[in-house]
Amino acid sequence: MAFNIQAERERRTQLAKDTRNLLDTSTGAGNTWTAENQAKYDENVAEIERIDAAIDRHQKVMDLTADNAMHDAGVREHGGGKGDKNASSDVRLFDKWARGGDKALSAEEWKQVNAAMSGNPAVNPEQGGYTVPTTLAEQILDALKAYGGMRQVADVFSTAGGEPMQYPTSDGTSEEGEIVAENSSATDDDVDFGTKGLQVYKYSSKVVTVPWELLQDSTADIAGFIERRLQSRLGRVTNRHYTLGTGNSQPMGLITAATVGKIGAVSALPVITYDDLVELEHSVDTAYRANGRWMFHDDMLKLIRKVKDDQGRPIFVPGYEQGNPGGAPDRLLNRDIQINQHVASPAAAAKSIAFGDFSYYKIRDVMAVTMFRFNDSAYVKKGQVGFLAWMRTGGNLIDVGGAVKTFQHGAAA
C-alpha cells in the first residue's frame, strides 16, 4: 500500500492527543497511574517515533522531487531575463553566475543584480565578489534557524552598520514604593544603571569548492547545493557561539552568561529528577516565567522522557502537527521545549538545561550575507571554482534580573 503522508500525520496527531488525554485523566478524583497506563503511554510514544521517522524519510524524497521539478522548470534555463522578477528570477541569475562567473551575465542582467543587491555593491568585483540578492540573503538567514534553535527563540534584529552597541540595563526586581505620611517627604531611591555590549563578529563559511564537472552539468542544482552548504556551515558555527560563546573574540553564549539555578546531586551517572526540574523552573522569577520555556540537547530529552512525577506519571507530553488547527508542541511541565544540539549532553558538572525567557538573548545581524566566487590559479589547477560567504553577527544575554537559569549536573561520584 502506498504511503499516505497526510494520513500518517493525522494518525500521529491522534496518538499524541490520546497520550495527552491519558496523562490528563490519570490525575485528580482519586485516579492513579497504573501499569496499564504506562504500557499504553510507552506504546503510543514508540509508535509516534516510528511515524516521525517514516514521515521524515518520505518528506525528504518529496522535497528532492520538488527541487528537481523546479530546477527542470526554471533554473536550468540560463536565460537570465526570462521569468518573473521575484525570488525565482534571482535564483536563475545566481545559478548562471555560479556556473559562469561575472562574464556570464549580460549588462541587462547586471542591472537586475545591482537593483537586488542586499548590501554594499563595492565588493571587489575584480575578485569575483558578489553580494547575494536580497531574496537569497533572506533565505540563507532564515534557514539558519534550523541549525540549533537559538534564532528560533532569541530576539533577532538587524542594523545597517557594525558600530559598537551598548544596551542600558537596570535591575529593579528588589525595588518597591512606600507609604508616605501627610506632609512628609518621599524617600530617595536612585536607580542604578549599567550597560551590556552587543558587538558583532565577522564569520566566514570557509571556501566551498565545486568541481568544473558539476558546474558543467546542466541537471545539477548548483544554486541549491551552494546555498544549503553555506547555510549549514554558517548556521552551525554561529549557533554554537550563541549557545556556548565565551564573549572573548566571539559572542557571549546563552549558557555561558546565564547563572546556575539548580545543581544536581553527585552521581556516578548523570541523572535528572522531577524535583530538579521544579527547582530550576522556580529559580526563575515569576516575571520571566510567563514566557518561560526549556532548552536542551536531544540526549537530555531522551533522559527526561524517563522521568516521572511524584505520582508515577511521565512528565514528558508529546506534541502533534503544528500545521493543524489546535496543534501543539512537545511539552515539559506544561511548557514548550526547544532542542539545541550545542547545549551540553548530560554529563558530570555539565550545564545541560536552560530555562527562562530566551527573548532576552539578543542576536544582532549587520547588513546581509555577502558571497564571493574564486576562479584563480589556486582553484583552476585543481579543476575547481571556490565560493565563500561572509556574514557579521553577534549575540549577548541582555539580562540582569535572571531571566534565564541553567541546570548543572553534580560531580561524578
pLDDT in tens, 356-405: 999 999 999 987 777 788 877 788 788 888 888 888 999 999 887 889 99
**pLDDT tens-digit map of 186-208:** 887 766 667 777 899 999 999 88
Q: How far is CA 164 from the centre of its chain?
A: 25
| Stretch among 24-33, 131-140, 320-329, 381-390 having the lowest mean pLDDT | 131-140
Q: Identify the structural domains of the chain with CATH numbers, from first to last.
A: 127-170+194-297+340-413 (3.30.2400.10)
Give the number of other CB atoms < 10 A from CB of residue 120: 10
Q: Judge contact between 209 and 379, C-beta under 8 A.
A: yes
Per-position b or e across 72-94, b if 16+ CB within 10 A of its CB: eebbeebebeebeeeeebbbbbb
What count of other Cβ atoms lies within 10 Å of the Cβ of residue 179? 5
Alpha carbon of residue 197 to chain centroid: 22
- pLDDT tens by residue, 248-302: 999 999 999 999 999 999 998 899 999 999 999 999 999 899 999 999 999 999 9
Closest of 359, 233, 266, 254 to residue 296, by C-alpha: 254
C-beta of residue 332 within 8 angstroms of C-beta of residue 95? no
CA distance 34 to 314: 12
pTM: 0.79
Q: How far apart are CA 59 and CA 65, in angstroms?
A: 10
Residue 82 corresponds to which cell in the numbers above? Answer: 526570462
Q: What percent of the residues of the chain are helix, what percent strand, and what percent coil, each to the nearest 5?
A: 40, 20, 40
pLDDT at position 89 is 66
Buried b (16+ CB within 10 A) or exposed e, 249-284: ebbbbbbbbbeebbbbeeeeebebebebbebbbebb
Residue 179, pLDDT score: 87
Alpha-carbon span 122 to 211, nearest angstrom: 28
The single residue listed with the C-alpha cell 537596570 is 170
Looking at 258-333, list the stretches that DSSP marks H as alpha helix, in order from N- to C-terminal side: 274-283, 286-289, 298-304
| φ/ψ (deg, to 5) at 384 | -135, 165
Nine cell digits for residue 265: 546531586
Distance from the first to the final alpha carbon of the chain: 53
pLDDT in tens, 206-217: 988 888 787 777
Per the structure block, which three cell numbers stand in for 370? 555577502
What pLDDT does residue 79 have? Answer: 39
Query: For residue 314, what is the DSSP state?
Result: B
pLDDT number for residue 76 = 43
Higher pLDDT, 29 or 95: 95
Mean pLDDT of the residues in the chain: 81
The alpha carbon dihedral of 95, 98, 104, 106 has a sign of: positive
Angle in degrees, 0-180, between the axes of helices 107-115 and 87-100, rounded to the nearest 10: 130
pLDDT reported for residue 404: 97
Q: Tell me the mean pLDDT in the region 136-162.
A: 81
How many angstroms separate the CA atoms of 202 and 160, rounded?
15
